[in-house]
Amino acid sequence: MALLKKWKEMAYSETANKGDLQRLWADYFEKEKEIYAELLKKPEDVEEGTVKELAEKFGVDIMTMTGFLDGINDSLKEANPIEEMEEDTKVQLGFDKELLYKNMVAAGADWLYGLEEWNDIFDEETQKALYKEQKSSTTIVKGDKVYPNDPCPCGSGKKYKKCCGRNQ
């Protein structure tokens, strides 16, 4: 069975004890934070190796590394084959810094986009701009409501109720 499937069965289990799942995620988030802190110290370096080698390098178990690889995959310059990944699958962690920061913001992972290592990569102004850009990209902006006696937005010059707003 592919590692990602095992990870998802374990981490998103419907039958597992809630307390066990909370502990699993709390432990995962702490390890994830440590891995990102390490990666952000040298953002230009691309870590490479098998899933097992990277797990050993960062001092985590295979399942934690699988979850990490799943989480970072959308931020990589070149995606890893996470769906069919096994322990001996070669993977790399060459991430796009701006995209990674924005994805952390999108995930609401303040413990990650708030890491002090980001300060050596982006100044405070850039971090705020990336944060704002990500947040505004998911904000739905509704257009102005058109009332029956308003001019029709189609530009005909008629009232909305006599033009496009007419019941057909």
Token pair listed for 106: 């999108």
Q: Token pair of 14, please?
A: 């419907």
Q: Per-residue confidence at 168, pLDDT binned at 50, 70, 90?
A: very low
Angstrom distance (rounded) from CA 144 to CA 108? 30
What is the CB neighbour count within 10 angstroms for residue 54?
21
Q: Which residues pair with 49 in a beta bridge?
A: 91
The answer to whether residues 127 and 136 touch, using CB atoms and an 8 Å cutoff, is no
User: What are 108-143's pLDDT values in tens digits?
Assistant: 999 999 999 999 999 999 999 999 999 988 877 788
pTM: 0.80
Among residues 42, 35, 33, 61, the alpha carbon closest in space to that of 121 is found at 42
> What is the four-CA torsion angle of 46, 48, 52, 58, rounded to 10 degrees?
-30
Any idea which residue has 């990569």 for tokens?
121
Q: How does DSSP classify residue 14?
A: S
79 pLDDT more than 60 = yes
- 32-58 pLDDT tens trace: 999 999 999 999 999 999 999 999 999
